[in-house]
């Protein structure tokens, strides 16, 4: 199976990237200065993270503007914290994201446990501007920082028996109040077919808008699979396991008629409750048509050749 390369337009132009680095560097100097000044006053206030403004001129490869940092960090689905979209931004601030270890094992030759900080050094994060399409029929354009999952998988060497990748979120009801609700099959789990996991668009993200990934957005480390509904992109991962059989995910467990294993964005296959043919891009007022594979058909359609996607939804 051969998949197409990512169009160059999808990669941030170098001059924008460099100006952004320069901006961040300047920002660090300014905030260091202000911290110094603040410490003279006896009250050391931490430098408040501000959005690098140079990034706002960047669009996705289809020409649509990025969603704002405020929109992306203020409207999230994170059932471990709450079932609404606003409270996770508040409740997640206490999540202990450092140090964070990620165990990678199962059917592999080199099982390993990594600290997220070491992962960032091993696989330097690159910027990926992806559309995120929620199964609830809204979407955003998000500039992630991350590295292709295939880099990690190649290093741990899956055995020939490994066919699927299973992901698991941290299980810690003391930090995750939502995990006290026994009607959900905690911890949150997700799965990908090995070739989907190896695809170059599939990343492990550790950052957002040039900064560390905020806890409500899945920090310190999450999966991002842009051609699938957002719930596939599991947050706060502690365990990745290579397995032989198709794993069952959190949402499949809850309602298999509504949430399939593949969960590819597909305008033709409706949720039992609502149509997936259109979506609301956050920040807009009119619905827009939902694109097959969330607009990544050229890159990923080959993965599903010969499959009936209305059955394998």
What does the binding site for another protein look like in residue numbers (CB under 8 A)?
71, 74-75, 83, 85-86, 135-136, 138, 183, 251, 254-255, 258-259, 270, 272-275, 277-278, 280, 282-283, 285-287
**Rounded CA separation 131/225 (Å):** 10
Interacting residues of 216 by C-beta distance below 8 A, sequence separation 6+: 73, 76, 78, 81, 88, 89, 91, 92
User: Are the C-beta atoms of 173 and 230 separated by less than 8 Å?
Assistant: no
- Which CB sits closer to another protein, 9 or 86? 86
Give the nearest distance from C-beta 274 to another protein in angstroms.
Answer: 7
Count the Cβ atoms, other than its own, within 10 Å of residue 33.
Answer: 11
Angle, alpha carbons 68-233-268 (nearest 5°): 90
Quickly list H helices, the chain. Answer: 14-40, 69-74, 87-91, 116-122, 149-156, 194-198, 250-254, 297-300
Q: Supply the minimum distance, in Å, between the C-beta of residue 85 and another protein.
A: 6
139 or 264, CB closer to another protein?
139
Nearer to another protein, 126 or 136 (CB): 136
Task: State the nearest-atom distance from the C-beta of 294 to another protein, in Å.
Answer: 18
Compute how many other C-beta atoms are within 10 angstroms of the C-beta atom of residue 36: 10
Sequence-distant (≥ 6) Cβ neighbours of residue 274 within 8 angstroms: 136, 137
First vs last C-alpha separation in the chain: 21
DSSP sequence for 220-257: T-EEE-TTB-GGGS--SEEEEEEESSPPPPHHHHH-TT
Question: What minimum distance in Å lies between the beta carbon of 275 and another protein?
Answer: 4
Q: Which is nearer to another protein, 36 or 254 (CB)?
A: 254
CB atoms < 10 A from the CB of 183, how many?
A: 6
Q: Which of 111/178 has CB closer to another protein?
A: 178
| Least distance CB 86 / another protein (angstroms) | 6
Of 116 and 208, which has the nearer Cβ to another protein? 208
88 or 125, CB closer to another protein? Answer: 88
**Whole-angstrom Cα distance, residue 86 to residue 71?**
10
Smallest gap from residue 204 Cβ to another protein (A): 25
Least Å from the CB of residue 64 to another protein: 16
CB of 157 to another protein, least distance (A): 36
């Amino acid at each position: 199976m051969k998949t197409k390369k990512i169009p160059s337009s999808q990669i941030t132009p170098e001059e924008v990237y460099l100006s952004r680095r320069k901006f961040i560097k300047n920002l660090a100097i300014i905030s260091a200065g202000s911290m110094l000044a603040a410490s003279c006053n006896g009250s050391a206030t931490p430098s408040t993270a501000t959005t690098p403004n140079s990034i706002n001129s960047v669009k996705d490869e289809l020409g649509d503007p990025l969603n704002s940092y405020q929109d992306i960090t203020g409207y999230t689905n994170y059932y471990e914290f709450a079932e609404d979209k606003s409270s996770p931004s508040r409740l997640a601030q206490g999540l202990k994201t450092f140090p964070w270890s990620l165990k990678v094992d199962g059917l592999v030759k080199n099982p390993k446990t990594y600290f997220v900080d070491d992962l960032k050094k091993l696989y330097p994060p690159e910027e990926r501007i992806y559309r995120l399409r929620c199964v609830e029929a809204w979407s955003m354009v998000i500039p992630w920082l991350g590295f292709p999952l295939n880099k990690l998988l190649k290093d741990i060497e899956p055995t020939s028996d490994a066919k699927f990748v299973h992901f698991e979120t941290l299980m810690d009801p003391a930090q995750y109040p939502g995990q006290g609700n026994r009607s959900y099959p905690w911890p949150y789990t997700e799965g990908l077919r090995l070739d989907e996991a190896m695809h170059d668009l599939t990343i492990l993200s550790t950052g957002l808008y040039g900064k560390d990934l905020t806890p409500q957005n899945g920090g310190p480390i999450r999966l991002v699979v842009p051609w699938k509904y957002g719930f596939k992109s599991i947050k706060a991962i502690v365990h990745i396991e290579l397995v032989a059989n198709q794993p069952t995910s959190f949402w499949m467990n809850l309602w298999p008629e509504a949430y399939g294993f593949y969960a590819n964005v597909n305008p033709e296959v409706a949720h039992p409750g609502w149509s997936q043919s259109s979506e609301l891009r956050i920040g807009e007022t009119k619905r827009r048509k939902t694109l097959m594979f969330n607009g990544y058909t050229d890159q990923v359609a080959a993965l599903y050749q010969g499959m009936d996607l209305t059955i394998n939804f």
